[in-house]
């Protein structure tokens, strides 16, 4: 009946429309929680000067990458400017087994792929408090034309329809508040009965 201290970590998928501040949330979460790590991605693009295998990326040939996809070894992947980028299962699994929680900050399409390959993950949707706030945030960056902003807002609204695929909704109204919620979700998920099966099937007899 003794709780195992060294349990496998959680895969935490943080996604949501562009401009909702999910990147900032993740950075603050990583800063606060030393048991939360990001996993190293895999790519077919050539290493740039200063990049190190296994730290910057896992660099693979196109054939190797395709082999990983075929063997269900990529939790998610995308082709961008002629190169593949993705999250290899082995890198995530290694961290999880060492007891770390692994955070993936990815777009809606990526999260959808991870859900197919790793449904036991914790899927968190980051949303803006309102369309007006999201619009303001994108405007404030000052890097996009009005047309692009309109397109991004339309896409964000469309992406909200994917919410039902997620476990949690965190409305990112204020960064510290949002990270508090992420931390609570992680603690609560570790208490879920379904993640503690050995406890009641185990050594209480």
CA–CA distance from 119 to each of 88, 124, 166, 198 (Å)?
Answer: 15, 13, 10, 20
Stretch that binds a copy of itself, among 39-47, 97-105, 107-115, 156-164 (CB under 8 A): 156-164
Looking at beta carbons only, is 98 or 131 nearer to a copy of itself?
131
Instruction: Indicate which single residue of 46, 55, 81, 193 sits in contact with a copy of itself (rule: CB under 8 A).
Output: 193
93 closest CA partner among 73, 113, 66? 73
Verify binding: residue 12, a copy of itself, rule CB under 8 A.
Answer: no
Verify binding: residue 52, a copy of itself, rule CB under 8 A.
Answer: no
x-marked contacts with a copy of itself along 79-118 as a string, rule CB under 8 A? ----------------------------------------
Looking at beta carbons only, is 102 or 127 nearer to a copy of itself?
127
SS (H, E, C) 89-149: HHHHHHHHHCCCEEEEECCHHHHHHHHHHCCCCEEEEEECCCHHHHHHHHHHHCCCCHHHH
Instruction: Indicate which single residue of 67, 168, 174, 179 sits in contact with a copy of itself (rule: CB under 8 A).
Output: 168
d(CA 168, CA 185): 8
What is the CA angle 16-57-44, rounded to 5?
90
C-beta separation of 127 from 16 below 8 A: yes
x-marked contacts with a copy of itself along 115-144 as a string, rule CB under 8 A? ---------xx-xxxxx-------------
Verify binding: residue 13, a copy of itself, rule CB under 8 A.
Answer: no
Verify binding: residue 149, a copy of itself, rule CB under 8 A.
Answer: no
Verify binding: residue 167, a copy of itself, rule CB under 8 A.
Answer: yes
172 closest CA partner among 111, 124, 108? 124
Strands 36-38 and 101-105: parallel
Which positions touch a copy of itself (CB under 8 A)? 1-3, 124-125, 127-131, 157, 160-161, 163-164, 166-171, 173, 180-181, 183-185, 187-189, 191-193, 196, 199-200, 204-205
């Amino acid at each position: 009946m003794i709780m195992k201290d060294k349990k496998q970590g959680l895969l935490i998928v943080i996604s949501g429309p562009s401009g909702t501040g999910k990147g900032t949330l993740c950075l603050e979460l990583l800063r606060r929680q030393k048991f939360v790590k990001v996993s190293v991605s895999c790519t077919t693009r050539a290493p740039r000067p200063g990049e190190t295998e296994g730290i910057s990326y896992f660099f693979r040939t196109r054939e190797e990458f395709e082999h990983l996809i075929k063997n269900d070894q990529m939790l998610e992947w995308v082709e961008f400017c002629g190169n593949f980028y993705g999250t290899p299962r082995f890198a995530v699994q290694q961290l999880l087994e060492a007891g770390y929680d692994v955070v993936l900050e990815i777009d809606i399409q990526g999260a959808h792929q991870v859900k197919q390959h790793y449904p036991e993950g914790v899927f968190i949707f980051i949303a803006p408090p309102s369309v007006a706030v999201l619009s303001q945030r994108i405007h404030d960056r000052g890097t996009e034309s009005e047309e692009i902003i309109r397109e991004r807002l339309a896409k964000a609204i469309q992406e909200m329809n994917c919410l039902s695929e997620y476990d949690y909704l965190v409305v990112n109204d204020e960064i510290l508040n949002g990270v508090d919620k992420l931390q609570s979700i992680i603690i609560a998920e570790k208490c879920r009965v379904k993640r503690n099966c050995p406890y009641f099937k185990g050594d209480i007899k």
